[in-house]
Structure 1
Amino acid sequence: MSERQNIEWKKIWHDDYLKWVCGFANAIGGVIYIGKDDNGNVVHLENYQALMEYIPNKIRSLMGIICDVNLLEENANKYIEIKVNPYSVPVSLRGRYYYRSGSVKSELTGIELNEFLLKKAGKTWDDVVEEGAGIQDIDDGSINQFIEDSREKGRLPDTTGLSSLQILDKLRLTEKGKLKRAALILFGKDPNRFYPNVMVKIGRFGIDSSDLKFQEVVEGNLVHLLNEVQVQLNYKFLTRPVDFAGLHRIEKGEYPVAALREMLLNGLVHKTYMGTSIQIRVYDDKLSIWNEGVLPQGLDLESLKSEHNSRPRNPKIADSCFKSGYIDTWGRGTLKIINSCKEAALPEPEIIEKDGGVQVTLFKKNQESSPVKIENNLLEIQRAFGAISDRIKLGADKNKEFLREHFEVIAEELRESFRLTSGKLHESFGLTSGKYISNTALTLELITITPEIKAEEIGAILDVSERTVQTYLKKLKEDDFIERIGGRKEGYWQIIKQDS
């Protein structure tokens, strides 16, 4: 018999091994052999008689549990077997709690201890009543949006004429008229008032994590985050906008919508809400989503690549997401991510455990195996454009030459993604293929390439004053090409999609 998850070999007894007993009792049980070396060979215990009395008494007095302690013999060598049963109640050793996960014994503290104690009490974090909250902390608009989103699937019970509190009660998000934590996460006006980091951080990086170009933080309840994260990704981080409602649509040159949506939903449903925020990192060639919270006991990374039973960390939140249609079938989320990438001819996603959480990374097509000409791809233009500081050093003549050379690609992007017709472009800028392109048009191109660009940076690239740039921006705003999102320092320019 080999040493494994629920078996330990020890040559001699030491009181420190009581932590292993505690860890087994809090997990799935196990056996500790005293008198076996690391290879499983029996070594004779000289003090076995004293240990047969000492060990069970020590376990009982310090932990309040009873274990079977048996004396065994092999080739005239005596050794001891300690059988530890799993306990439905939490077991502590001198006021500390230990848990056996895999082949590792660890002390439970902080968030892990809180979740462990709740589990032993038959509860989960999101099923606990939030005593300081009331119906005044619930956003009716989010509930209405939730109900509207649920209509297509038809899984939600009839809510016609019900108040917000009655709807929450139907969703089992209340207890004796009081709100559970799940209700605040799903529909709270300001869930961050009760719990830290109910938010998604999105960062745009260059070649690696040390090259942060800009970032955005989206706060709010789950219904709001599902919509607003999409908006931020579309208008600031992704080359081509995506429609999260169109789950079967594949965006050419970007990432499958189904994969992005499922990654975000997985993070929101399985997140440790007393931990840190969900983090989305967007690079030139990949996108990753990380959420805090380790995999459940018995589920490993390999299991995620095939159909498996889902054990959501927050089952109340997961149940509501299922009824709304946000989640189709539990246990298939990672398969959807993998399969949608396969259908889009993208590399297989990477799923890893990292920093106490799970990270899923999508990759774009391998540029070496599928080369893309710079004149036919906006992303390649963005890469070639490089850092703004580098463009400034080149001088206005070279910058304008670069921008004019690729303006047709930008015009095509504006037409395809934002419905800016050739007629409107011509009307505003007098554009005709091969003819002069104004600085106002080049300003729009700069905004398309780099939404976070500042007026003074545009001026430095085009070699005009900031005041002149403000004139260009004013015209673009008056012609309904652009609008400003956020403040001067942290905001960005957003291109306005035209009506069909």
Structure 2
Amino acid sequence: MSSESQNIEWKRSWHDDYLKWVCGFANAVGGTIYIGKDDDGVLTHLENHKFLMEALPNKIRENLGIICDVNLHDEAGKKYIEIGVNPYSVPVSLRGRYYYRSGSSKMEMTGNTLNEFLLKKAGKTWDDVIEEGASLDDIDDNSIKRFIKDALKSGRMPNDIGELSTVELLEKIRLLDHGKLKRAAIILFGKDPNRFYPNIKVKIGRFGVNDADLRFQEVEEGNIMELLKTVPNQLNYKFFTKPIDFEGLLRIEKDEYPVAAIREMLLNALVHRSYMGSMIQMRVYDNKLTIWNEGLLPEGMELESLKRHHISRPRNPLIADVCFKAGYIDSWGRGTLKIYEACKEMGLPEPEIISMDGGILVTVYKDLNNQVTPQEGGQEGDQAGGPMEDLTKYIEQLQKEFGLLSDRIILGKETNIAFLRGNYGVITGYLRKKYGRNTEEIRKKYGRNAIDILMLFMLEPSIRSKDIAVILGLAASTIEKVIAKLKDDKVIEREGSTKSGHWKIIEQK
């Protein structure tokens, strides 16, 4: 029996609170609610089906203002009701509240999420709205000149754009409507975007082994044209061991990170972020670099699709279009592909892109094997001074800092996979390179959580499957199935008894 999904919901009996589910389906892609089935989709029979067949259409119409198909079904003498909800092009509310179906759960939309939803239903995007309080005096001339220079260089704008006045240029790139500036104009060219919107900034922090070890930080603010210059400068000046030439994209990489990857990470964050949310955050560690921006993927797009060619669906299309004309991005949805490709060409571990705290977190890793300086006479691999010894010391340091994962669970401390990836991500990079499998191969063969399970075994070899289940938010039986496959293929082996033993990851030849 299939589980509940994006457009299916099962309920044993009716409760008026389920009008929220109807509202959520109507505001999303539509769906079906079955009344008289349990959580596994098994029929349970609906005793009051006659009453509900009369009451439900009226309840839905009176409370939501929409019409739904309500049908009664009979299977082997067991009655159940099917409520078919169509997607609506206008926003649907329940007693002044708006709900949305996301994945297999219902969410109430508030704040910025609700604003973006209402704009979308009205056929507009956030950056296309007129900023009534802005005038041409708020536009920075130097930023306009920088755009013209880059657009001419890219060949994506006519050669005569340098002859246009600021008004004519803004009208041409659709940032001015009847003499009034749109929000995109302020974000791209504003003298002080933070006067209009909060957090038009990029915060950069230098951390040690974990997020508790903040060594120093800087904040850059300004319009996109300025941030594309000041953020790389700040990274080179204060955060990177080896300065990077952000203009020399075609040269052979000799740096800690590929230029193309960092540039695309910053551009993606600036173009796709939610501009009414938190500022962009970059974290530089000893072994990795991360960037986070608020705003989730477009509806219907999965994280896995970012690894292949996908349709470009920018959150801020006007901003994206100007960045395209300036030659900063292309319009084919290849930004994330460039990140993966740049790291692969440089021989680095595969980057990670995950959703976290209402936004997207992108992580690129250094090559762990190149970070270790072997002792004189040391041998490659697990010999003295080699990468494995260095990694072992790194894990011991983390365990000393955070304690055992199983102890953290018992104490009720924060332990989830996003937390672990953020603090221990270097280990996953080590696993991919050391054991000769990339992430996609491991996921296809053993399941999408296999690499995380291997990481947890390295952090705590004696960890129990039920503790892993808590960390990953899965059933213990699911974890045990993955472990069984890994054991059968001799990726891992058990040393000692079930109670007092531990797991060992087997070196792959």
Which category describes the TM-score, using the shorter chain as reference length?
Answer: 0.7 to 0.9
**Residue 331 (structure 1) aligned with residue 333 (structure 2):** yes
Corresponding residue SS for 1:107:
strand
Equivalence map 1:125-144=2 (5 Å): 125-144=126-145
Corresponding residue SS for 2:187:
helix
Deviation string for 1:144-190 (max 9, x for gaps)?
00111122221123313211111111000111110000000000000
Corresponding residue SS for 2:311:
coil
Letter in 1 for 2:311: N
Counterpart-to-counterpart distance in 2, 1:41 and 1:293: 37
Q: Comparing 296-305 with 260-269, which one deviates more in the overlay?
A: 296-305
Matched-pair contact (CA < 8 Å) for 2:202–2:279: yes
The residue that corresponds to 1:195 in the other structure is 197
The residue that corresponds to 1:262 in the other structure is 264
Equivalence map 1:144-155=2 (5 Å): 144-155=145-156
Letter in 2 for 1:50: F
The residue that corresponds to 1:446 in the other structure is none
TM value normalised by structure 2: 0.72
The residue that corresponds to 2:430 in the other structure is none
Counterpart-to-counterpart distance in 2, 1:182 and 1:253: 34
**Residue 94 (structure 1) aligned with residue 109 (structure 2):** no
The residue that corresponds to 1:171 in the other structure is 173
Counterpart-to-counterpart distance in 2, 1:344 and 1:248: 13
Corresponding residue SS for 1:151:
helix
**Residue 66 (structure 1) aligned with residue 67 (structure 2):** yes
Counterpart-to-counterpart distance in 1, 2:14 and 2:138: 56
Counterpart-to-counterpart distance in 1, 2:110 and 2:89: 19
Matched-pair contact (CA < 8 Å) for 2:260–2:342: yes
Deviation string for 1:267-315 (max 9, x for gaps)?
0000110011001101111111110111111111111111111211100
Corresponding residue SS for 1:291:
strand
**Residue 57 (structure 1) aligned with residue 58 (structure 2):** yes
The residue that corresponds to 2:206 in the other structure is 204
Letter in 1 for 2:12: K
Counterpart-to-counterpart distance in 2, 1:142 and 1:98: 40
The residue that corresponds to 2:80 in the other structure is 79
Letter in 1 for 2:317: P
Counterpart-to-counterpart distance in 2, 1:251 and 1:86: 49
Mark the runs of 5 or more structure 2 residues left unpaired by the alignment: 377-389, 391-509
Corresponding residue SS for 2:238:
helix
Note the C-alpha offset of 1:328. Answer: 2.3
The residue that corresponds to 1:282 in the other structure is 284
Counterpart-to-counterpart distance in 2, 1:251 and 1:204: 23
Q: Comparing 156-165 with 349-358, which one deviates more in the overlay?
A: 156-165
Counterpart-to-counterpart distance in 1, 2:374 and 2:345: 23
The residue that corresponds to 2:234 in the other structure is 232
TM value normalised by structure 1: 0.73
Note the C-alpha offset of 1:223. Answer: 0.3
Letter in 1 for 2:290: S
Note the C-alpha offset of 1:372. Answer: 3.3
Q: Which of 342, 351, 354 lines up with 1:352 in the alignment?
A: 354
Q: 1:371 to 1:206 in 2, by over 3 A?
A: closer
Note the C-alpha offset of 1:374. Answer: 9.3
Corresponding residue SS for 1:262:
helix
Note the C-alpha offset of 1:349. Answer: 0.6
Note the C-alpha offset of 1:373. Answer: 5.9
Identity of matched residues, %: 69
- Equivalent pairs counted in the alignment come to 375
Q: Which of 343, 363, 383 lines up with 1:341 in the alignment?
A: 343
Matched-pair contact (CA < 8 Å) for 1:248–1:258: no
Deviation string for 1:354-407 (max 9, x for gaps)?
11100111111113x7743699xxxxxxx9xxxxxxxxxxxxxxxxxxxxxxxx
Q: Greater CA radius of gyration, 1 or 2?
A: 1
Letter in 2 for 1:252: K
Corresponding residue SS for 2:149:
helix
Matched-pair contact (CA < 8 Å) for 1:286–1:364: yes
Matched-pair contact (CA < 8 Å) for 1:248–1:257: no
Counterpart-to-counterpart distance in 2, 1:271 and 1:240: 28
Matched-pair contact (CA < 8 Å) for 1:240–1:251: no
Counterpart-to-counterpart distance in 1, 2:100 and 2:345: 41
Matched-pair contact (CA < 8 Å) for 1:250–1:344: no
RMSD, matched Cα: 1.6
Corresponding residue SS for 2:127:
helix
Matched-pair contact (CA < 8 Å) for 2:148–2:162: no
Deviation string for 1:105-147 (max 9, x for gaps)?
1000001000000000000000000000000000010010011
Deviation string for 1:25-45 (max 9, x for gaps)?
000000001011122121221
Counterpart-to-counterpart distance in 1, 2:76 and 2:101: 31
